[in-house]
Amino acid sequence: MNKTVGIMKNIDNLGRVVIPKEFRDRLGLEKGVEIVLTREGVLIRNSKYELVMKEEVSSVK
């Protein structure tokens, strides 16, 4: 059985939407989230911060 849970929220003057605590708890959302635009809508998931080291390239000619 697919149980859909929904709620209507307003967007504030700064463009923010509050994700209800019940949703955050059920989805295991932490402080940082990633927001991805998909063909079906918007996907919100835990962000995965990864340390990426970049090589410094000095190719001055």
Smallest CA-to-CA distance from 22 within 40, 3, 7, 41 is with 7
pLDDT digits (tens, 9 = 90+) for 7-50: 899 999 999 999 999 888 988 888 888 888 999 999 888 887 65
Return the pLDDT at 16: 94
Give residue 55's pLDDT. Answer: 61
User: What is the residue whose two structure tokens read 């090589």?
Assistant: 55
pTM higher than 0.85, yes or no?
no
3-state secondary structure string, 5-53?
A: CCCCCCCCCCCCCCCCHHHHHHHCCCCCEEEEECCCCEEEEECCCCCCC
